[in-house]
Amino acid sequence: MSSSRTASADTAPVELAIGGMTCAACANRVEKRLNKMEGVTATVNFATEKARVAFEGEAVPVEDLVAQIEKAGYTATAPGPEPEEATRTVEDDPTRALWNRALVSMLLSAPVILLAMAPALQFTYWQWASLTLAAPVVVWGARPFHVAAWKNLKLGTATMDTLVSLGVTAAFLWSLYALFLGTAGVPGMTHPFEFTITRTDGAANIYLEVAAGVTSFILLGKYFEARAKRRAGDALRSLLELGAKEVAVLRGEGASAREELVPVDRLVVGDRFVVRPGEKIATDGQVEEGTSAVDMSMLTGESVPVEVEPGSAVVGATVNAGGRLVVRASRVGSNTQLAQMARLVEEAQNGKAAVQRLADRVSGVFVPVAIMIAVGALGFWLGTGGSAGAAFTAAVAVLIIACPCALGLATPMALMVGTGRGAQMGILIKGPEMLESTRRVDTIVLDKTGTVTTGKMALAGVTVAEGEDESEVLRRAGALEGASEHPIARAIATGAAVRVGELPTPEDFVNVEGRGVQGVVDDHTVLVGRPAFLTERFRYLPEELEQALKEAESEGRTAVTVGWDGRVRGVLVVSDTVKPTSAEAIRRFRELGLTPILLTGDNAAVARAVADEVGIEEVVSEVMPEDKVAMVSRLQSEGRTVAMVGDGVNDAAALAQADLGLSMGTGTDVAIEAGDLTLVRGDLRAAVDAVRLSRRTLATIKGNLFWAFAYNTAALPLAAAGLLNPMLAGAAMALSSVFVVSNSQRLRRFRSLSDHTGAEGDRVPRDG
């Protein structure tokens, strides 16, 4: 690491990669040492092997942080960029060396364990063959534990490595004593495999199978841990690798513009670049030329392509599925939505939930307590007349079984997998503390526009006068409105084109500002606009059209009249349409035990109509943004725990006030900052998925912690009582860690509500 690198003057948090940690006690030690520095608040995550350091006041130089960590016996560097996929080598996989060490140790240990457990296989001098095979395992296989234990000893501390090294070394040294100075080395000696505690001097007992077996089992367990941790980080790595590597930038303007292929990191804001069909969009920007459909599934999990046209915003790493586009870059590098998503996921994985802090405190005192229990067991058996071998067996078993690996992995492993899976689904969990909030929430407040509804005007209904052809009314109205840029006009033109097909081109088009438009279509002078605009010209409004106008007004919808040749021919109703999945999402919220409330600035009629359509009973309408905050506060004062779902712009204050804020939409800066969870997809079911995934992750964390605590609590007394063979203790300790990581990996199978695969995630129990 360059010595010139220091924390920035703006006191932005610093992230460091920590090397040499082997258990939660290590992470706890590094965290304590950093937090002793003035103005430093550090969080160290054992699973991600990273420290996140924040500053109060003036920033502390990175060199000082690294020096403190090195004094604790560990290494620290500022993480560099991930290597390109093409340049990645086998050596880049940190689990490879661990696997080789575990594999060799297992191959050498297997015959040692087999001979010790099967007396019938114990040939003459079998014990010396066992020593030959076990020695490399104890010296080379267990070397990482011995090295770490020696560092800890010099620092006057103890970790899991201390326990393993003590146990393995004690078993091996006792075996050497029995072989060279005792009676275990005599020809023809047999060693029965039994769990009973007998009164002997121990001079004939060897524990080579313990020394070799414990080393092998723990190495294998650590390999599975490392592989699972790497897989848990795959979601974040794949997210970062979604982006394009090269981009065709347009140099010059107009017909003389030429394309230049450059690396994507050379793009700057304002550059115009070309995206051909099938190519990834290089960065966030705005379409300037062309129309197409963009596949957002890699980034948001949304399977339906989004139509884009000049003026549409596009996001980097999505795929152009249709025509050629010219895009002007609006955000590049670390400011893009992809980079923001990756940063949020990593920050969430590096954070700690309340349950993890409890586990850290336990792990911090567990190692020295375990050593005291081992010494106590040794003294007890020797003091009560037990054999030295029996006392030694109990002490070693305590040392081995006490390793708190599973305890340290219980929370961060589940958090890594859960947040990684969420990122793949377009759900960004801002921090682990949010998981606790989703469990307590009982009320969910929903903004209407852009959340329950599309937020875009669309043609919702057509009523024609008696004797008129609906297709003809739509065709002529759509043709005329197609020449206007007004949002209502665009909605009518789009709806008409969908229903009747290609529209004719109008002539003599005139826009009567604030009232409507008129022009010639099919040799008829057609008028489209407000009811008063047409009734002033044509005087008479048929009864059926007058009734349609009243119904539209009562529902808060916008009604537009169409007429030609002296008569009003039809009424077109335009409104903000409800998203097709909103009703299902509301039903799912109820299944999760949440009471939905619709909160909107629209009038009561519009709000009530939308609420009825999706199944919401409680509605609060005609509120300003500050009133939304007051509404959330009032619900909280009533004892409710409130979640708020909004678009993150005019709902930002209410999102911040809520116990749990869920920002919906395109993941803008405001949305990401305002909410506790950010939903990249515009589907309200994503909010349901966010609650379900958060609750499932929290349940997994609690399950992991329960079994980790239960395992240590139940096994330690058995080991101290001499009822647990040290080799089996080592296997059980390794398997407990494997259980924690494999249980956490089940979160990878979580499925979105929109993913009808019948998988585990499709069931929506009350607890998520």
Contact criterion met (CB below 8 Å) for 517 and 511: yes
**Contact 23/149 with Cβ under 8 angstroms?**
no
Buried b / exposed e along 157-193 (16+ C-beta atoms within 10 A):
bbbbbbbbbbbbbbbbebbbebbeebebbeeebebee
Among 161, 284, 447, 602, which one carries the catalytic annotation? 447
CA nearest to 450, candidates 668, 677, 688, 666: 666
Q: Is the dihedral of CA 667, 670, 671, 675 positive or negative?
A: positive
Instruction: Determine the length of the chain.
Output: 768
Token look-up 């379900």 returns 692
Structure-derived torsion over alpha carbons of residues 687, 693, 695, 696, reported in degrees to the nearest 10: 160
Side by side, the strands of the sheet bearing 246-251 are 258-263, 246-251, 272-275, 325-331, 284-289, 313-314
CA 39 to chain centre: 30
Determine the angle formed by the axes of helices 405-424 and 354-383, rounding to 10 degrees. 160
* Residues forming beta bridges with residue 598, ordered by sequence position: 446, 619
In a 3-state reduction of DSSP, which class is residue 727? helix
447 is catalytic: yes
Instruction: Look up residue 314 and give its two tokens.
Output: 């596009």
Give the CA distances from residue 255 to residues 259, 684, 741, 750, in Å, rounded to whole numbers and listed in that order: 12, 44, 59, 51
In sequence order, what are the residues at sequence separation of 6 or more whose Cβ sits closer than 8 angstroms to the Cβ of residue 304?
A: none
User: How would DSSP label each residue in 416-451?
Assistant: HHHHHHHHHTTEEE--THHHHHHHH--EEEEEIIII
Q: Identify the sign of the CA torsion 132, 136, 141, 144.
A: positive
Cα dihedral 427, 428, 431, 437 sign? negative
Pairwise CA distance, residues 82 & 239, whole Å = 12
Tokens encoding 152:
């800890």
Distance CA 573, CA 492 (A): 9
SS3 annotation, 493-531: HHHHHHHHCCCCCCEEEEEECCCEEEEEECCEEEEEECH
Closest C-alpha to 257, from 273, 279, 277: 273
- Which residues lie closer than 8 Å to 45 by C-beta, 6 or more apart? 27, 51, 52, 349, 350, 351, 352, 412
* Element holding 564 (H helix, E strand): strand 558-564
CA distance 225 to 181: 40
CB burial readout 367-395, b (16+ within 10 A) else e: beebbebbeebbebbeeeebbbbbbbbbb
430's tokens: 């801002």
- Report yes or no: 759 and 751 within 8 Å, Cβ to Cβ: yes
- DSSP assignments along 186-243, one per residue: STT-------------STT---HHHHHHHHHHHHHHHHHHHHHHHHHTHHHHHHHTTS
Distance between CA atoms of residues 368 and 645, nearest Å: 48
Q: What is the dihedral of CA 390, 391, 392, 394, to 10 degrees?
A: 90
Residues 6+ apart with CB under 8 A from 633: 657
As annotated, the active-site residues are 447
